[in-house]
Amino acid sequence: MYLQRVSPWLAKSSTATRTSAREPDDIRTYLAEPPIPTQVLEMLATSPSGSGVMKYWYLQWEKTPALAQMGSDFCSMPATSVDVERAFSEGRREIGFMQHNMSAQTFRAEMALGSWDGQPFFPNWKELGKFLSKENA
């Protein structure tokens, strides 16, 4: 139960889900294999589709499913150079001093609308915000 709350991929690798207690775990299987040749790593890094590393973990799914899930989760996270304090500091600017009773749903909606500012996929986000505020009033 604790592992499921911490991380879903960690819970999947639990020995309780294995068919045999003698079956080696994914990390030992991975570490027992020979190192990946440099040519393969270079090919993965320069893949034209940009999905070389993800493809590697997809191909590892049969041998080491829990480790492949972890690798896929880790490699699919967007990279950022922004420090964590800056990335999560928008919330205090979205709620004014007198809005402390705002519901969590309204706060999430405000944060989502605010993150769309300046993005090309939805240039008229302010109109949507006005529409939503009228509908919720």
Give every CB contact of residue 68 below 8 A, 6+ residues apart in sequence. Answer: 26, 57, 58, 60, 61
* pTM for the structure as a whole: 0.41
Quick: pLDDT tens for 46-64.
Answer: 877 657 778 888 888 888 9
Percent above pLDDT 70 for the chain: 53
Same domain, 111 and 67: no
Same domain, 25 and 66: yes
Same domain, 69 and 88: no
Mean pLDDT across the chain: 71
* Stretch (H or E) spanning 116: none
Contact 125, 117 (CB under 8 A): yes
pLDDT range class, residue 34, cuts 50, 70, 90: very high
Same domain, 108 and 58: no
More confident residue, 46 or 21: 46
Domain of residue 14 covers 2-75
Same domain, 48 and 68: yes
Best CA proximity match to 10, nearest among 74, 75, 78, 67: 67
Same domain, 7 and 25: yes
Contact 75, 57 (CB under 8 A): yes
Same domain, 61 and 93: no
Number of structural domains in the chain: 2
